[in-house]
Amino acid sequence: MALNGPPLWALRPDDLHRPERSGHRLSPRQWLLVAAAVSLVIAVGIAAWNVGRLAAPALVGWQISLTDEFADAPPLPDLPVPATTR
Amino acid sequence: MALAVCVLFAAAVGAWQGWRNVTVDPPAPPAVCPLVRTEVFDRLVPAHGPPQVGEQNAPGMRSNYCLVKSTHIRATYLWVSLGRFGRHEGRGPRCVDRDGLQTVVNGRNHPLALGDSAVYFLAGDPATGRRINFSTCLGTYGVVVAYEAYDTADAAMVESAAAVAQEVLSWL
């Protein structure tokens, strides 16, 4: 059987070029900082969700009071005409 | 700096989501029966029995009703409901924001100037019992009046139902 080119075992390590990396790898310490920042953001979101949920009754109570304070009730009307006399 | 922005954004989104999806029941509205003068019941529902009362509550809404029925064979009735709205499904507590006005899709709805907003619709035949459903909103309160009568002109029924609704609103 004919071979096209030399067999793979014939390649030496110097023949294979390692690709160049762009940038630099994060150190474990930097990974920890990123994880801590993400955790902080999530924790703040959850805490704020609970604050919003727990504060809602007081806020709605305040909304109800304010809404009804500015509502103008109509005057007491005259008695309606009796149905039997129509 | 970027972290501070992310934290503030997370706080705003979290607080908004917590507030938006919450259901809050309002304080109970006053009993509606005492808000309607006895003479009104006497005039609109001749020979009526004692008023029947009850509660109808839903998430973010509390209401009570007063039902007066005539003891005649051709029984008329007057049903008055007073509801109050809190917060539910991201809406409220204003009555007009919470579908406090009752309308029909297969009939004609007539708007009327009372409270923040008012609408009524009529159904039935005068000979077999003409019914009016009148609903109005004022602030966080919603009043619904259902009145059935015989041989009565539509204009008179509208006037009567509006008078009952206005009577309830006037005490709030």
* Helix, strand or coil, per DSSP, at residue A81: coil
Q: What is the pLDDT of residues A26-41, one digit of tens each?
A: 788 888 999 999 999 9
Rounded Cα distance, B33 and B81, in Å: 9
Q: Chain A contacts of B43, Cβ < 8 Å?
A: 79-83
Q: Residue A66: what pLDDT? A: 92
Q: Residue B129: what pLDDT? A: 81
Q: Chain A contacts of B45, Cβ < 8 Å?
A: 83
Q: Chain B contacts of A80, Cβ < 8 Å?
A: 40, 43-44, 159-160, 163-164
Q: What one-letter code names the amino acid at B74?
A: R
This prediction's pTM: 0.78
Q: How many CB pairs under 8 A join A and B?
A: 144
- Tell me which residue in B6, B86, B164 faces A60 most closely, judged by beta carbons: B86
Q: Which chain B residue has the Cα nearest residue A69? A: B139
B74-92 as b/e: b if 16+ CB within 10 A: eebbbbbbbbbbbbbeeeb
Q: In the predicted model, what is the mean pLDDT of residues B26-54?
A: 90
- Tell me which residue in B3, B21, B149 faces A83 most closely, judged by beta carbons: B149
Q: What one-letter code names the amino acid at A2?
A: A
- Smallest Cα distance from A36 to chain B, Å: 11
ipTM of the complex: 0.79
Q: Chain A contacts of B10, Cβ < 8 Å?
A: 41-42, 44-45, 48
Q: Residue B48: what pLDDT? A: 86
